Amino acid sequence: MTQQDWIERARNVLPGGGFGNFDPGIIIRNGQGSRVWDEDGNEYIDYLIGSGPMLIGHGHPEVLDAVQEQLSKGMTFFANNAAGIELAEEICRAVACAEQVRYVSSGGEADMYAMRLARAFTGRNKIMKFEGGYHGMSAEAQMSLAPTKLTNFPMAVPDSAGIPASVRDEMLIAPFNDIDFARSLIAEYGDQIAGIIVEPLQRIIPPAPGFLEALREECDAHGIILIFDEIVTGFRFAYGGAQELYGVTPDVCTLGKIIGGGFPLAAIAGRADIMAHFDKSRVGPEGFLMQLGTLSGNPVAAVAGLKTMEILRRPGSYERLRHCGRKLMDAIHTHLDGAGHAHQIVGDPTLFDVVFTDQRIANYRDVIKGDAEKAAAFNARLRERGIFKSPGKVYPSLALTDDDLAETIEAIAYAVQDLPG
Ligand SMILES: Cc1ncc(COP(=O)(O)O)c(C=O)c1O
């Protein structure tokens, strides 16, 4: 069966010929360490890494052993299990805001419940989010996620059909990194805002100095719950996530991807008095936030996450990850500069991409002003040379070897060489 055969079979049974996530023109057969292979046997260095979870590489032998051992004991119980409890303990040790943890199966669910939790705790309805911020697929999260029609802030624009206007009316949208705008919005609506949800580094855009601190201050002043979406940044930016790296502690955060070690597991973690709303015996029926899920705290995912986190705790892990990222950022910059292509390398060494513009990037509107055609051509040429990445991100992994880096840098040189204008 060739890749093309699979692509055609997929078209018959999957809308758009795919799972909705990624280019349906490639079918991945397997992965090992830093690499993946497609159904035709083509080999790629993997900078997609499952959209983030496979930070230590595919098929890590220690994770495989832990998973095999758990598989022989049972795959899911619905009831509490020791692995899930241990994982929650480790999250609470590692993550500054985490006093208690509630599991779900996907990052988007975690974000949906985090927003609902802010509403349950404060008794208010409005949620503030930033334009271009990605928080999964809930109705709230679909507001101004990737709008093509740019309206005046704080009006939300739904990015999906099927969402009633009443949801939009409870959302306040602000530009990322604009401290003055955030303050003015909070001055006007502060006593109606339940929570502010923010990716501490939005997609690839780092927070401006003082931006997260200003949000923290405003939330304290107005009794608003500050939610950091750390689905991507958790256990990647540092063991304690972006809140450790940037030194700002939210009230609640969401975690996913890495904590499930490649299996479906995500979590809401936060202050115990807020998390109490998941416990009817503490808050009574009025304050209770009903939440359950068949696979929540799945033991296979929990052991995979625990082993992944153990490996990340070993000395030098984060230094190595940052070293790899920095090397790639520098190489892209040097080659594009040499060829006279206006660009910005945006992000953190653990997660970044190139935007083809000579303008500084501070928010979503700056990113979409970049030359998308040039970016697509660059990514296509990288793919030709065996570099597998998402259209908007480079995710380095700990499995990268020095040879992988050297090969990637050669591919970057090739991609830049033939890049149009
Ligand atoms: C910042 C952020 N939040 C939430 C999510 C949603 O996670 P999931 O795809 O597991 O639902 C993602 C997914 O990439 C994400 O990047």
Q: Is the CB of 231 under 6 A from ligand 1?
A: yes
The single residue of 229, 251, 348, 366 carrying the catalytic annotation is 229
Query: How far apart are the CA of 111 and the centre of ligand 1, in A?
Result: 8
Q: Quote the DSSP letter at residue 371.
A: -
Average pLDDT, the chain: 98
Alpha-carbon gap, residue 260 to 255, rounded angstroms: 9
Residue 335's pLDDT is 98
Map out the domains of the chain as residue ranges: 61-312, 316-394+407-421
Q: How far is CA 347 from CA 125, 182, 293, 321, 378, in A?
A: 32, 22, 34, 14, 18
Q: Which atom of ligand 1 is nearest to the CA of 199?
A: 1
Query: How far apart are the CA of 254 and the centre of ligand 1, in A?
Result: 10
Sheet strand arrangement including 387-388: 28-32, 35-38, 43-46, 387-388
Tell which one of 232, 233, 255, 263 to mutate to probe ligand 1, the residue whose CB is within 8 A of the most ligand atoms.
232
Domain 61-312, CATH class in plain words:
alpha beta
Q: Which atom of ligand 1 is nearest to the CA of 106?
A: 10
Q: Is there a common fold for 61-312 and 316-394+407-421?
A: no
Q: Is the CB of 230 under 6 A from ligand 1?
A: no
HSE at residue 170, side-chain half, CA atoms within 13 A, is 17
Portion of the chain with pLDDT greater than 70, in percent: 100
Q: Which atom of ligand 1 is nearest to the CA of 266?
A: 10
Could you tell me the fold of the domain covering 316-394+407-421?
A: Aspartate Aminotransferase, domain 1 (3.90.1150)
Query: How far apart are the CA of 231 and the centre of ligand 1, in A?
Result: 6
Query: How far apart are the CA of 232 and the centre of ligand 1, in A?
Result: 7
Q: Which atom of ligand 1 is nearest to the CA of 230?
A: 1
The single residue of 257, 374, 389, 393 carrying the catalytic annotation is 257
Query: How far apart are the CA of 75 and the centre of ligand 1, in A?
Result: 24
Q: Which amino acid, one-letter code, is at 293?
A: G
Q: Is the pLDDT of residue 398 over 90?
A: yes
Q: Is the CB of 228 under 6 A from ligand 1?
A: no
Band (pLDDT 50/70/90 cuts) for residue 420 is: confident
Q: Is the CB of 232 under 6 A from ligand 1?
A: yes
Q: Is the pLDDT of residue 392 over 90?
A: yes
Burial of 219 (0-12, 13-18, 19+ CB in 10 A): buried
Q: Is the pLDDT of residue 315 over 90?
A: yes
Q: Is the pLDDT of residue 105 over 80?
A: yes
Band (pLDDT 50/70/90 cuts) for residue 130 is: very high
Portion of the chain with pLDDT greater than 90, in percent: 99
CA proximity to 260, closest of 296, 218, 208? 296
The single residue of 44, 113, 134, 318 carrying the catalytic annotation is 134
Burial of 3 (0-12, 13-18, 19+ CB in 10 A): middle
Specify whether 229 is catalytic. Answer: yes
Residue 115's pLDDT is 98
Query: How far apart are the CA of 299 and the centre of ligand 1, in A?
Result: 21
229-259 pLDDT, tens digit each: 999 999 999 999 999 999 999 999 999 999 9
| Strand 126-130 with 193-198, pairing | parallel
Mean pLDDT of the 182-189 span:
98
Mean pLDDT of the 294-298 span:
98
65-100 pLDDT, tens digit each: 999 999 999 999 999 999 999 999 999 999 999 999
Take residue 331 and report the two structure tokens written for it: 């190489």
Q: Which atom of ligand 1 is nearest to the CA of 108?
A: 11
Band (pLDDT 50/70/90 cuts) for residue 418 is: confident
Q: How far is CA 115 from CA 109, 112, 209, 214, in A?
A: 10, 5, 25, 20
Is residue 28 within 8 Å of 36, Cβ to Cβ?
A: yes
Mean pLDDT of the 326-351 span:
98
Q: Is the CB of 106 under 6 A from ligand 1?
A: yes
Residue 199's pLDDT is 98
Q: Is the pLDDT of residue 4 over 90?
A: yes
Residue 421's pLDDT is 77
Residue 196's pLDDT is 99
Mean pLDDT of the 116-135 span:
98
Q: Is the CB of 199 under 6 A from ligand 1?
A: yes
Mean pLDDT of the 144-168 span:
96
Q: Is the CB of 256 under 6 A from ligand 1?
A: yes
Tell which one of 199, 231, 259, 298 to mutate to probe ligand 1, the residue whose CB is within 8 A of the most ligand atoms.
231
